Structure 1
């Protein structure tokens, strides 16, 4: 599928909004998040190798003169990477649930729990109900609409210096010399840099990990857990409530992100992801997490086997 055709597919939700008015394009703010690594995955046999396209660099979005085309291209590039990251997290959640159901654990299983606990900053007795509960709360997906809106906002639709030079779409910081790009105008005495990633996919993984473990986003995780308990769909508009500490602008920033979700009809992607995951046949989640062609993860393009009875 050509880049042009791929962009047309992702223009559908944008066209729905364009009929009613112009596009919302706020100023980007790109240097406020604290994060310290790339969201790596502890080894797990059920996690398939990453597809090669997950290592691709960011395209040149500055080439687009038309705002509608730029937005469609941005969403069509990023959404498959969000599906990839979230589907791999769901595989890890399934494995976590399988361990919680066992009466005894092997040393290898304890090791996996320890690695996840260290990565997600969970402090609890190994193998305890508390450890499983805390891990299940933190090892979870982020709605695509929220990721898309924040990536667009923080990276100026993929054109910021940190995005183009460091594949950093969310402004994650790092704190060792040479780990990233030094922000222009950094305060005297400050040591932070804006992290560089090997690919935009790694930036997405690190962003999800940041929301899943940093104390600042406790409210976001609380809202998500409540939705899980109520068997309610996860909503980017709702989870945005937990971003109060993401920006010094506080509530104004939250409203800006919600406005981007609303005006760009980004809940379309939440619906699509839920539909794909809900209708997968057993074993197909691993296929979703290793899809060879990124176009196969675009909305309504999945070639994976689904169960129509559950649609």
Structure 2
């Protein structure tokens, strides 16, 4: 009797765990408590603070890759064992960031770098309607990513007749942030962003979101108006404070 009860209890706990994990996997958008905030100032503060933590986390991952490349390529690369874990990891990074030549140090350094938090926060707010758009609620899509793959996309509500693009669906908000940062770091459309960031590095200046956001002319169909919107969001919400907070915590040079 007791053994049967224990078995049934364990089975119940196991089943509950699966259901809980499934619910978490299906969770979309910001935390539920965010959508219950009525005060606009409190809502903005919650949005920025919550998103900053996720943006910081992804930036730290990028810095780990950047540090690895620096360590690996600053050593004697001619003696790098092609069967070593370091070489295999370098190949993975080369493929991830679409680096043309394996040992081109400057190309790695230009592409593998942080996205200033203030810029990421401003674009997150604009592209997701402050976390309240259908894209983020249904697809964890913070930055308006498109796809043509029906396996990972959903149809936009107001898609132009004949258009084939889909809204990219992400499993988590973290995945959306990761895709956004990788997009800026390797897509040809944002070459000017990377060049400006690199030039700031050469001057020993931490990349700031206000100046770099003004290279995002190709990110939106509204062109230069988009730059004005980002500038206004950064300035009016004093988002440069998040840049300072981040650079005080980490050494990114």
State the TM-score, normalized to the length of structure 2: 0.83
Tell me which protein shows more helix as a share of its residues: 2
Matched ranges for 1:9-88 at <5 A: 57=28, 58-60=30-32, 61-88=34-61
Alpha-carbon distance in 2 for matches of 1:66, 1:254: 27
Q: 2:142 aligns with which of 146, 157, 169?
A: 169
Contact kept in structure 2, 1:56 and 1:200, CA below 8 Å: no
Length, aligned pairs only: 223
Q: 2:235: which partner in 1?
A: 262
Q: 2:170 aligns with which of 197, 203, 210?
A: 197
CA shift, 1:180, in A, is 1.8
Deviation digits for residues 200-234 of structure 1, max 9, x if unmatched?
A: 11111110001001111000000000001100121
Deviation digits for residues 62-103 of structure 1, max 9, x if unmatched?
A: 322211011011112111111111111111111110111221
Contact kept in structure 2, 1:146 and 1:236, CA below 8 Å: yes
Alpha-carbon distance in 2 for matches of 1:187, 1:120: 32
The runs of at least 4 aligned residues of structure 1 exceeding 4 Å deviation read: none
* Range that drifts further, 148-157 or 104-113: 104-113
Q: 1:247: which partner in 2?
A: 220
Matched ranges for 1:123-134 at <5 A: 123-124=100-101, 126=102, 128=103, 130=104, 132-134=105-107
Q: 1:97 aligns with which of 70, 74, 88?
A: 70
Q: SS state of the match for residue 150, structure 2?
A: coil
* Runs (5+) with no aligned partner, structure 1: 1-52, 280-311
Q: 1:232: which partner in 2?
A: 205
CA shift, 1:133, in A, is 1.5
Q: 1:219: which partner in 2?
A: 192
Alpha-carbon distance in 2 for matches of 1:56, 1:109: 36
Q: Structure 1 pair 148/106, CA: closer, same or farther in 2 (3 Å)?
A: same
Q: 1:114 aligns with which of 91, 100, 103?
A: 91
Contact kept in structure 2, 1:197 and 1:203, CA below 8 Å: yes
CA shift, 1:56, in A, is 7.2
Q: SS state of the match for residue 31, structure 2?
A: coil
Alpha-carbon distance in 2 for matches of 1:135, 1:191: 34
Root-mean-square deviation over aligned CA pairs? 2.0
Contact kept in structure 1, 2:81 and 2:87, CA below 8 Å: yes
* Range that drifts further, 104-113 or 248-257: 104-113
Deviation digits for residues 133-159 of structure 1, max 9, x if unmatched?
A: 211110110000001000001101101
CA shift, 1:178, in A, is 3.1
Alpha-carbon distance in 2 for matches of 1:240, 1:75: 17
Contact kept in structure 1, 2:214 and 2:231, CA below 8 Å: no
Structure with bigger gyration radius: 2
Q: Which has the higher contact order (CA 8 A, sep 6+)?
A: 1
